[in-house]
Amino acid sequence: MNVTRYPEAPVYEAPNHFDMRCVRLQGREAGPAEQLWLGVSTLEPGGHTSLDGSPMEKHYVVLEGELTVVSELDGVRQEATLARLDSCRLAPGEKRQLINRSGRTASVLLAMPFSPPVPG
């Protein structure tokens, strides 16, 4: 078992993340993991990411506050506001942008595999 205490979770810098603090809970520098890693991002009011895609599937769960998720896949753009314990899944290649449009700090849990699945 690998336990990571939140106050001791390693901080990591993610490109195109603004007014955000990101920590790793499991995987990579936080400890051993074989298939996925977990992180928590805290977004200050106005904090956001750019609208970028990734070859990996991503799962988000809002832990505190409210977060707007913008996605774009095959030219179709969607937007949803997630409240505490709401979640969303983003497909491989689906662009995503996280935005804290509220006046309160928001935090979100991210679960993401290490690499895209091998076509079978």
Q: What is the mean pLDDT of each run of 10 residues along the chain (120 residues)?
A: 97 96 96 95 98 95 98 96 98 97 98 78
pLDDT at 48: 98
pLDDT at 92: 94
How far is residue 120's CA from residue 117's CA, in Å, rounded to a whole number?
9
pLDDT at 119: 65
pLDDT at 118: 61
Classify the C-alpha dihedral 103-108-114-116 as positive or negative: negative
Residue listed under structure tokens 């799962």: 59
71 close to 94: Cβ distance less than 8 angstroms: yes
How far is residue 44's CA from residue 37's CA, in Å, rounded to a whole number?
23
106 close to 42: Cβ distance less than 8 angstroms: yes
| pLDDT tens digits, one per residue of 40-66 | 999 999 999 999 999 999 999 999 999
- Bridge partners (DSSP) listed for residue 11: 23
pLDDT at 120: 62
pLDDT at 1: 96
95 close to 49: Cβ distance less than 8 angstroms: no
How far is residue 33's CA from residue 79's CA, in Å, rounded to a whole number?
32
How far is residue 107's CA from residue 63's CA, in Å, rounded to a whole number?
5
